[in-house]
Chains A and B, each alone.
Chain A
Amino acid sequence: MNATSPLYGMLAEFDDVDRLVEAAGRTRDAGYRKTDAYAPFPVHGLAEALGMKRTAMPLVILLGGILGGLAGYSLQYWVSVIENPWNVGGRPLHSWPAFIPVTFETTVLGASLAGVLGMLALNGLPTPHHPLFAVPQFERASRDGFFLFIRATDPKFDPVAVRQFLQDLHPREVIDVPQT
């Protein structure tokens, strides 16, 4: 680390996924909160080990679906009953059973759009630039690398203590991540 680039955080690489999960749990127990872990596939229990209890995704998708369904039904009601009342064979203008298919489709559309856009928004994507991308070893995170990260803004962060803590978890290597 040099004076021109302050530390963004510290990264430790582990040999396999089980060690990473164990290390994540110990990091949480040691009181670190601004942490993350990186693995080339979704690891069951890894985010939980870091202290992430639940996500807002189901709620976002539910709200998207409700909004889509309401929008679809009210559109049809407004068009068929208020704006353009058109008598077809004496059928009632508010033929609700005929409005169900479109309502179903707009519900699914609303929920899916909310799911995808919500997932991206909650994950803070797109993020074209990130200090971790400057770490040469980090490209293994999309191949066979397992990383644990503690951010410098963590209240308990102290470069010497964190390095010692990470070393005690028996990683392959501990890497300083400069702020870029």
Chain B
Amino acid sequence: MVWGMSESFDPHLQELRRGTVVLACLRLLRTPGYGYSLLEQLESRGFTTDANTLYPLLRRLEKQGFLTSEWNTEDSRPRKFYVTSADGSSLAETLSQDWVNLSRSIASLTDDLGTPEEN
């Protein structure tokens, strides 16, 4: 029974987490990073993401101007390094603020005494 339940929760959890990967990328890429290194960093920090989601996402964020990229050919294999741009930083700031507001709102829903109207 518990099994069936947690499976039906999965799509909702995925939906809720989708946007957090963008925020995590923008924060982590304040120091330059390449695809696979970022995948591992995300994993170790609890933002487990599929490679086939992350790699296209990085290019999309670059296209939108929130990341900039540069090829590094000095290492053993050439890698594309991404860095958060100024626009990316302010997007991250806005998303973080929204996250704080949302978690406050959710806390008020969870807490019975949170909403004065309900008394």
Does B bind A?
no
